[in-house]
Every structure is written in structure tokens, then in C-alpha cells.
Chains A and B, each alone.
Chain A
């Protein structure tokens, strides 16, 4: 099962991956990470491992994709 692996504390909550995901399986959360930003989360299903989120993400280590 492909899935994105998110490091919440590296995520700056810009939402680029949420908009880019072709399956719409990412969402911004409502809680704060250590940096005081609202990180992104995987909805739990739908990921095909295309890594579009990874390439849209401006942070090197906020997000990686397992497939």
C-alpha cells in the first residue's frame, strides 16, 4: 500500500501538496506542530504513490512517499 510519510514538525502547512494531490487524499489539520504551524495529514486512503506531493512540497524533509 502506497502512502505519504509526513514529518509534522517539518511541515509548514502551505497546502501545495493538498492542492496538487490528484487523488485528494491529503488535508490540512487543525492542530499546531512545534513550529506553530498547522501541518498536513494523510486521510488514510487513496494514495497511489505518484509522489506529486513530494515534488510540490518546498520542504526537503516534510514529506516522503512509500510505494
Chain B
């Protein structure tokens, strides 16, 4: 006797919080339930449970992490494809599956999903289309049929007012990169078995790292259709399929061509692409790794000291913060550096936080710094009031300080920008500021380690090392004068 039963799910769903620990949160007759079962079963039967990372959406499908016995990452509304991009790049060895609904993928997250598909990211996107927003109470979604009644289209969707239904598969099929695009349904037995095969195909493509796969699944939502389960399934087959015809739009690995894939014979779409090596954060921010940087050692006698460095992008504010954090690292302190900047590259305001401590650091965020370094007026106005009593503000002399600093805070004005210009290296204003930090002894760090960190920060531009050492000396001499 063989038993056919559910595979790939937890035996009980205690985190779901239902009275009965073996039932899902889905309504009776929900398409999600059938799809969840098929995905879990395929995952288990293909032996992928330990290598699959699901990216859960916002919507009724969010609670899949209660059910599927595999790894999960939960994304913000519409962002499952963006999160899956990160997951599949960070773990190219894993099978990454984004599970999204039509409110999630079709509306707020459409561009995330579309661009991920266009880039041919190595994940599978399972897109559950029930033609409306289910979880929030049945509002119109981009996929709502013309004339379909929802809570926000009580007289039926009027295309002259709210547009026509969005055909996600057809739109994605215009793209060059996707490997697989198909639309299936779970409205009846025949369709469920076709859906099962398609889900296995998506997993197989991910298992073989053959690129992006989109599987749209038409699913009934009896609650929001205001129908019983059978009428909802019938609505899927008769009304939704008229608007959204089922079929495989492309399966490049199996020779089902999408839109003109042969028009670009030199394209590597058909080839299994090597996973690119992405730069690390240390690379991006030129964090020096060539210097001897010992692991931090706990020393409760060293108090936590919090720094904020702020100015315009391009003034070297972020590098200055790295210097201080690196100097602390050289002294076996715990240190964290945390940048924050707007969309601008140069000219916009940027700041970074640095925390140095003798004990492990809880949060990299610095709301109330001990030391604030300001290179422009907006930064001074924004952060000066937050400095702790007993703290220090070092500000460039060009910044108006009409608003006095808080009581008990020392204000030091230094001619960083002017000196850098006088020395003929206007970009080195941050080195001037480092000199000021050393001179006023506000970092709690040795002069030597600050200098070593400064030198190390120029590892990619060794010709600037001596110049900056010289500038450091000249600045200190100028401050003394």
C-alpha cells in the first residue's frame, strides 16, 4: 500500500496561530493552497528542499513561510523580485524562487519583476494571478478583467477609467533574456497536472542555473469573487482564460522560442551564463585590507565613542569616516562605519557614522554623536543640536554658526577648505579635518594609527600617500600657528 500525501511542508504549522495546527490560513477553495502544495511537493520530490530559498511576497501568499519546509526571505510589497535578485546573486548555488501575487508583481512591483526578467536573473518567479487584491479585501488589480466587479470597481472595471487588464506573460515575452515563460491554471484536474509539470520545469531550470523563469498561475479567489469554490474555478476557466490564454510562451531550453530569440545569433541567451563575481562592499568603498588589521579585543575600560561626519558628497566625508574606523581597528577596538547619502553623487549632502568601542557595538546608527565633523552648512544645521554635552563639533570656518551649539559642547572652527586650497590640493580638505581631529585629541585614538589608516586609504593611489602625509604635517603646523 502506498500513501499519496503532502511532501515538502512542515508537519504542523504552529507559527500560523490557527486553532488547528495542520490547516493553512487560506479560505476554502483558495488557489494558493493548491499551488503551495504543488510547489512543496515538487521541491521535495526533486530533492531541492535544502537548497531552495523562497522569497515570499506581501499578500495572501506571504505566509508560505509557515508551510514550506525550505529557506525563506520575506520581501516588502512588490519587492520579491528585487530581493530574489539579491538572494540569487549572493547564493548562486541555491535555487531561488520568488512567489508573488498580481497586486504584488502586477502593480507596485511590476518594474522590479520586469527589470529582473530583462536582466535574466537566475531565479524563478511564480506569479499567482487571481485578478484582484485578495488579502486587502478584493480591490481592483492591474489584472482585473473588464467588467469584473471588485470592491473598488463596484459596477465592473471600466477600461475608459481604469485601463485594460495587464497581460504580464505577454509583456515579459517581449524581453530577450527570460528562459521560460508560461501561463497555467489550477481551476480543474487537467490544469492542475499541467501546473504541476510547469512548476517542476521552473525548478529544473533553476536547478540547472539556466536563467530566469516566469510562471503565471491563474488561481480562483472564492472569497473575493463572492462565489463558492466551484463557481470560482469556473470563473477562472471561462472568464479569466478568455483574457489570459494558457500556454507556454517560451521554453528556450526545450526549443520553444519566444519573441525572435534567433534574431540575435551572437546573443548568449541560450547559453548557461557564468555567475558574475560582484565587488564586495569593501571593494566599493575602497576599504583598505592591505594593512595589518588585528581582530578586535574586548576592553571594557574603553568607552564607546560615536562620531558623525557630514558634508557635501565629494568632500571626502565618507573616506574620513573610514580613516577613523580603520585607525580604531588597528588599535584592536571594535569599530563600525555606516554611510548615509542621498541620490546625488557629488554636491548632495552625505554623512557617515562611526562607532568605536572597547566592547561589541550594538547599533551602527549614531543619533547623538560625541564628535561631529561638519564641512557644510546644511550638515551643521541638521546635526549640531544632536551632539552630546561634553562633545565636540569641528566645523569648517566657511560654515556660518549663527545657531550656537548646545550647552556644554565645544565648537572648533578650522580652516580646512581654505588650507587645502592654499596647499594646492583642494580635494584634501578631509585630510585637513583629520589633522584637526588629531590636534584636538577628540578621537581617543593614537596619532600614529590615524596616519597609518590615512596612508592605507590611498592604497589605490599610492602616488598620493606622501603628499597627504605632508599635508597632514603642514595642516598641524598651520593650526599651531
Q: How many chain-B residues does the 8 Å CB contact rule pick out?
A: 36
**A59-B188 in contact (CB<8A):** no
Which residues of A lie under 8 Å from residue B229 when comparing CB positions?
14-16
Which residues of A lie under 8 Å from residue B34 when comparing CB positions?
16, 55-58
Given contacts A19-B230, A54-B4, A55-B192, contact A60 B22 (CB under 8 A): yes
**A14-B28 in contact (CB<8A):** yes
1/0 per residue, CB under 8 A from B, across A33-67: the answer is 01101000000000001011011111111101111
**A15-B230 in contact (CB<8A):** yes
Which residues of B lie under 8 Å from residue A49 when comparing CB positions?
4
**A59-B192 in contact (CB<8A):** no
**A59-B189 in contact (CB<8A):** no
Query: Does B33 touch A at the CB level, under 8 Å?
Result: yes
Which residues of A lie under 8 Å from residue B228 when comparing CB positions?
14-15
**A64-B3 in contact (CB<8A):** yes
**B2-A67 in contact (CB<8A):** yes
Given contacts A15-B29, A16-B29, contact A58 B24 (CB under 8 A): yes
Query: Does B30 touch A at the CB level, under 8 Å?
Result: yes
Which residues of A lie under 8 Å from residue B40 when comparing CB positions?
60
Interface of A is mostly: loop
In chain B, what residue has the closest Cβ to A62?
B23
Which residues of A lie under 8 Å from residue B193 when comparing CB positions?
55
Q: How many chain-A residues does the 8 Å CB contact rule pick out?
A: 30
**B67-A60 in contact (CB<8A):** yes
Contact partner, B24, options A5, A16, A55, A60, Cβ 8 Å: A60
CB proximity to A under 8 Å, residues B190-213: 192-193, 196
Given contacts A51-B4, A65-B4, A67-B1, contact A58 B31 (CB under 8 A): yes
Contact partner, A34, options B2, B19, B67, B196, Cβ 8 Å: B19
For the complex of A and B, 10 pairs with smallest distance between CB atoms: A58-B33, A14-B29, A64-B5, A14-B28, A12-B28, A14-B229, A60-B6, A65-B4, A61-B22, A51-B4
User: Given A57-B34, A59-B26, A66-B4, 12 other A-B contacts at CB below 8 A?
Assistant: A10-B22, A12-B23, A55-B193, A56-B189, A56-B192, A57-B33, A58-B28, A60-B22, A60-B24, A60-B37, A64-B4, A67-B4
A residues near B (Cβ < 8 Å) are: 5, 7, 9-10, 12-16, 19-20, 34-35, 37, 49, 51-52, 54-62, 64-67
13 contacts between A and B (CB under 8 A): A15-B228, A16-B34, A16-B229, A16-B233, A35-B19, A35-B23, A51-B4, A58-B28, A60-B33, A60-B37, A61-B23, A64-B6, A66-B2
